[in-house]
Amino acid sequence: MASTKVKAIVIRSSNVKDKDKLLHIYSLEQGKMLVSMRGVRGEKAKLKSAKEIFCFGEFIIENTKNTNIVTSVSIIDNFYDLSKNIDKYYEACAILDIIDKVVQEPDPQLFIIIIKALKALCYDDVKKFYVIDKFLLDIFSAMGCNFITERCSSCGATLGSRYLNLDIGELVCPACKTLSSVAVSDACYSVLRILSSTPYDKLTTLKFGGMGEAQAFNLLSKNYEWRTGYSMINLI
Ligand SMILES: [Zn+2]
């Protein structure tokens, strides 16, 4: 039997049979994988703490003909403290939901971003939505859409007033805006620019206030829905 070792995080888990679990994990080495854990819902199961979402660790997986069975997990972090704050928990769930829906292939840079985003939510006192906003900016960047730019993506003119062209997910000038473009206020753009350039472990230093931060989350959610066809999970 071949076995594989991957560093991965559990993004979705469901009960199967009497005591088994089916896990969707996102791994550094192989991207998304479907694996099963045998007998793991039993009281004395040795892997039971590794069966829940957010569990991040080194998984040893035995590859049989039809299934990938987890035989051992060395947990690095299970982000347990997320469960103590409902706002942070839902924001972290939104990150897993995005990975579940729109990412398939391995992406080492994105993998590191996911862990950093979850750490910021779990251990730092970051204002609501700042982590998910920054994470969405990173996801759009991974999709090839550059949100933070001083130039119109259609004509190259320097941007004074900005519009987000939802068809392409990039900023355009007033002359290039289309029917599916929405205005991006200066306050909103400033929030996005600062979030984009601030590392996850420094987000705790930011406090914007005002309309800019509410507009930023609304704009990013709308762009996510247009880019992917999925809604953001309800975070309010
Ligand atoms: Zn233009």
Residue 236 forms part of a structural domain: no
Residue 102 forms part of a structural domain: yes
Looking at residue 137, what is its pLDDT?
96
Q: Identify the band that residue 154 occupies on the pLDDT scale cut at 50, 70 and 90.
A: very high
Using the mean position of ligand 1's atoms as its centre, give its distance from the Cα of residue 153 in Å: 7
Using the mean position of ligand 1's atoms as its centre, give its distance from the Cα of residue 175 in Å: 5
Using the mean position of ligand 1's atoms as its centre, give its distance from the Cα of residue 190 in Å: 20
Using the mean position of ligand 1's atoms as its centre, give its distance from the Cα of residue 168 in Å: 13
Answer yes or no: do 57 and 158 share one domain.
no
Using the mean position of ligand 1's atoms as its centre, give its distance from the Cα of residue 158 in Å: 8
Greater confidence (64 vs 78) lies with: 78
Looking at residue 136, what is its pLDDT?
97
Answer yes or no: do 53 and 94 share one domain.
no
Answer yes or no: do 199 and 136 share one domain.
yes
pLDDT above 90 (res 25): yes
Among 21-25, 37-41, 88-92, 185-189, which is the least confidently predicted range? 37-41
Answer yes or no: do 160 and 201 share one domain.
yes
**116 Cβ neighbours under 8 A, 6+ residues apart:** 199, 200, 201
Using the mean position of ligand 1's atoms as its centre, give its distance from the Cα of residue 147 in Å: 15
Answer yes or no: do 131 and 187 share one domain.
yes
Answer yes or no: do 88 and 62 share one domain.
no
Q: What total number of domains does the chain contain?
A: 2
Alpha-helical segments (H) within 60-209: 86-102, 108-123, 130-142, 186-197
Using the mean position of ligand 1's atoms as its centre, give its distance from the Cα of residue 145 in Å: 16
Residue 17 forms part of a structural domain: yes
Residue 235 forms part of a structural domain: no
Using the mean position of ligand 1's atoms as its centre, give its distance from the Cα of residue 215 in Å: 22
Answer yes or no: do 126 and 217 share one domain.
yes
Using the mean position of ligand 1's atoms as its centre, give its distance from the Cα of residue 172 in Å: 5
Using the mean position of ligand 1's atoms as its centre, give its distance from the Cα of residue 156 in Å: 6
Residue 233 forms part of a structural domain: no
Greater confidence (156 vs 64) lies with: 156
Answer yes or no: do 186 and 106 share one domain.
yes
Using the mean position of ligand 1's atoms as its centre, give its distance from the Cα of residue 174 in Å: 7
Query: By the 8 A CB rule, do 34 and 68 touch?
Result: yes
Of 157, 223, 156, 155, the C-alpha closest to 184 is 223
Using the mean position of ligand 1's atoms as its centre, give its distance from the Cα of residue 177 in Å: 7
CATH code assigned at 21 = 2.40.50.140
Helix (H) or strand (E) holding 177: none
Q: Identify the band that residue 128 occupies on the pLDDT scale cut at 50, 70 and 90.
A: very high
Rounded to the nearest 5 degrees, what angle is found at the Cα of 201, between the Cα atoms of 196 and 206? 60
Using the mean position of ligand 1's atoms as its centre, give its distance from the Cα of residue 142 in Å: 23
Q: What is the mean pLDDT of the chain?
A: 93
Using the mean position of ligand 1's atoms as its centre, give its distance from the Cα of residue 164 in Å: 11
Answer yes or no: do 198 and 114 share one domain.
yes
* Bridge partners (DSSP) listed for residue 10: 25
Determine the average pLDDT of the residues in 208-214: 92
Using the mean position of ligand 1's atoms as its centre, give its distance from the Cα of residue 181 in Å: 12
Using the mean position of ligand 1's atoms as its centre, give its distance from the Cα of residue 182 in Å: 14
Answer yes or no: do 139 and 215 share one domain.
yes
pLDDT above 70 (res 1): no
Q: For residue 41, what are the domain limits?
A: 2-77
Looking at residue 76, what is its pLDDT?
96
Q: From CA 143, how far away is CA 215, in angstroms rounded?
A: 22
Answer yes or no: do 155 and 196 share one domain.
yes
Query: By the 8 A CB rule, do 202 and 131 touch?
Result: no
CATH code assigned at 111 = 1.20.1440.120
Answer yes or no: do 135 and 166 share one domain.
yes
Residue 156 forms part of a structural domain: yes
Using the mean position of ligand 1's atoms as its centre, give its distance from the Cα of residue 155 in Å: 4
